[in-house]
Amino acid sequence: MNTLNQTLQEKFPHLELSVLKLSEVQKDNETKRIDSEYFRKEYLEKIQALLPQSQKLSKLMVSGYYGILPKSDDYLENGLCLVRGKDLRDSSLEITNLVKVPFDYFDERYCIHKNDILFLVKGATIGNDDGVLFIVDEPQEKMIFNGSVFKLQVKNINPAYIYIFMMTSFFTFQKLREVANNGIEYNSLKTIKNYLIPLLPMSFQLEIEKLVKDSHLALEQSKALYKEAEDLLYTELGLNPQNPLQSILQSHSNNINFRIATLKESFLKTGRLDSEYYQVKYEKNEAVIKSKPYAKLKDIVEIKKSIEPGSEAYRENGIPFIRVSNLSSFGISQSEVFLDSKDFKKGELESLYPKKDTILLSKDGSVGISYCLENDLECVTSGAILHLTIKNQALVLPQYLSLVLNALPTKLQAQRDSGGSIIAHWKISEIENLLIPLLELSLQKIIESKITQSFALRAEAKALLEEAKTKVESAISGGDGQIMSSL
């Protein structure tokens, strides 16, 4: 069969050809696929590399569950933490970023524990290498996961090693292969159980585990430094860093949450009549900010909009197009879509590349996510992400401002302004009038130093995971690993 493959490839060099026996086509082919996409040469080569040293995941599973599907209407300000597919991207769970649902949804099967592996099994980003997360320590709070995520517990193999393997192309292709031609970006339980997992020597697995734990340690140190910076901001604003929202609420003398305002003070000024906009917490939050030196955002930054080219301009290769789903307070995840400069005027896209110290701020969907760039980037952001450039760094520092934009006083302003509609939308006119507390420059420098150190540790943590990933890929493709002698 290999000779026939070679002969045909030589005869038709412009085509990608694969000749297989019927038994090979039918093996582990749950949906009886016979389309060429399923038998791409790249896929078959990876399978051949895996087969001699692999075991099906079903033989290594202790348990495995899909998550639950709560309604978005059930999302709460406080409640049970829910992990969604997009939450897997940061190599750790940022509890403050998780949505909350009623505790009625709790079920031990869906509860996340130490040594669990969570990976994406549904959605457009199913084939990305960042769609997996390993729970190194027992979570401090109870949390569950939704239906786009699968929770795995394993035996006779190191869970940290499987976690890293799931980042490699030797795993992601298996996920993609099963969704390539059925129009549904989803992996069934049978597909999951048939994943091929290479059984490399335990000594090698322990080496990978050490890199994962070193990465986790660096990440925890990074989080601690970021929290120190955040706590300093809250303390200077007279808020309790452990519960700043409660500090704001307690500053109101009455327990009853009501406000009386004239028509001139309400609708004629804001255009809003819904009770949500006039909650006491928003009024008190504004008072907290105004008790210290502050400025309106438009007075300290230049605000620049990007473009929204439409999905018809999306390409599989080219200039990365960054959407709100790619943006977090700690960085930018890999893009799934790209733009081609040939589709635009000469230099149009290049003029939109964000520069070092530019602050990216989301205004649609998940509003109020802010990230300050540490380097120039060659990418284009969507129109839902604003570019903020500081006018005078002798007054306000970029990393400090980004922290403020991510902190509670700004979140409450965003919550008030973008409420009242089904899809959250933050008007630029409202963003321009954000109230920004201005601490003394010496304090800003301390905060910026902590954030810079925090991001450096986060980069170190990411580099350690990349090192582990490279080692696993090399061991599989280069033959550095050997089949585990026994299970």
Is residue 268 predicted with pLDDT exceeding 50? no
Please tell me the distance from the alpha carbon of residue 186 to that of residue 214, in angstroms, as a whole number: 33
* In contact, 186 and 122? CB cutoff 8 Å: yes
Give residue-wise pLDDT tens across range 15-36. 666 666 655 655 666 666 666 6
pLDDT band at 256 (very low <50, low <70, confident <90, very high): very low
Please tell me the distance from the alpha carbon of residue 429 to that of residue 298, in angstroms, as a whole number: 9
CATH topology classification for 225-444: Adenine-n6-DNA-methyltransferase TaqI; Chain A, domain 2 (3.90.220)
Please tell me the distance from the alpha carbon of residue 132 to that of residue 120, in angstroms, as a whole number: 6
* In contact, 422 and 400? CB cutoff 8 Å: no
Structure tokens at 362: 């989301």
Give residue-wise pLDDT tens across range 53-78. 899 999 999 999 999 999 888 888 78
Residue 62: count other Cβ atoms within 10 Å of its Cβ: 10
- How would DSSP label each residue in 103-171? GGG--GGG---TT-EEEE-BSTTTT-TT-EEE--S--SS-EEEBTTEEEEEESSS-HHHHHHHTTSHHH
| Per-residue pLDDT, 42 | 81
Question: For residue 319, which of 258, 245, 376, 378 has the smallest C-alpha distance?
Answer: 378
| Per-residue pLDDT, 292 | 94
Give residue-wise pLDDT tens across range 346-373. 999 999 999 999 999 999 988 999 999 9
Q: Is 15 helix (H, G, I), strand (E, B) or coil?
A: coil
| Per-residue pLDDT, 280 | 86
Please tell me the distance from the alpha carbon of residue 23 to that of residue 267, in angstroms, as a whole number: 72
Least confident of 21-35, 131-145, 236-250, 466-480: 21-35
- Residues of the chain with pLDDT > 70, as a percent, come to 83
Question: For residue 86, which of 380, 412, 324 has the smallest C-alpha distance?
Answer: 324
| Per-residue pLDDT, 217 | 97
Please tell me the distance from the alpha carbon of residue 240 to that of residue 251, in angstroms, as a whole number: 12
Radius of gyration of the chain, Cα coordinates, nearest whole angstrom: 25
Report residue 35: phi and psi, to 5°.
-75, 155
| Strand partners for 371 | 360
| Strand partners for 134 | 117
Average pLDDT value for residue range 471-486: 68
The residue ranges of every structural domain in the chain are 1-25, 225-444
Is residue 231 predicted with pLDDT exceeding 90? yes
Is residue 484 predicted with pLDDT exceeding 50? no
| Per-residue pLDDT, 95 | 81
* In contact, 386 and 303? CB cutoff 8 Å: yes
What rounded mean pLDDT belongs to the chain? 87
Is residue 96 predicted with pLDDT exceeding 60? yes
pLDDT band at 5 (very low <50, low <70, confident <90, very high): low
| Strand partners for 315 | 338
83's CB contacts (< 8 A; 6+ apart) are 67, 93, 98, 112, 118, 143, 144, 145, 146, 149
Q: Is 331 helix (H, G, I), strand (E, B) or coil?
A: strand
Report residue 218: phi and psi, to 5°.
-60, -40
Is residue 258 predicted with pLDDT exceeding 90? no
Location of structure tokens 């109101």: 252
Please tell me the distance from the alpha carbon of residue 138 to that of residue 150, in angstroms, as a whole number: 18
| Per-residue pLDDT, 162 | 98
Question: For residue 130, which of 141, 120, 145 has the smallest C-alpha distance?
Answer: 120
| Strand partners for 76 | 100
Residue 366 burial by CB count (10 A; 0-12/13-18/19+): exposed, middle or buried? middle
Q: Is 93 helix (H, G, I), strand (E, B) or coil?
A: coil
* In contact, 76 and 212? CB cutoff 8 Å: no
| Per-residue pLDDT, 483 | 42
Is residue 284 predicted with pLDDT exceeding 50? yes
Least confident of 60-74, 323-337, 377-391, 407-421: 407-421
Question: For residue 164, which of 127, 214, 120, 129 has the smallest C-alpha distance?
Answer: 129
Least confident of 340-349, 382-391, 431-440: 340-349
Query: Residues for the chain: how many in total?
Result: 487
Is residue 192 predicted with pLDDT exceeding 50? yes
- pTM for this model (two decimals): 0.84
Is residue 325 predicted with pLDDT exceeding 70? yes
261 or 97, which is more confident: 97
Q: CA torsion sign, 221 to 226 to 230 to 233?
A: positive
* In contact, 362 and 351? CB cutoff 8 Å: no
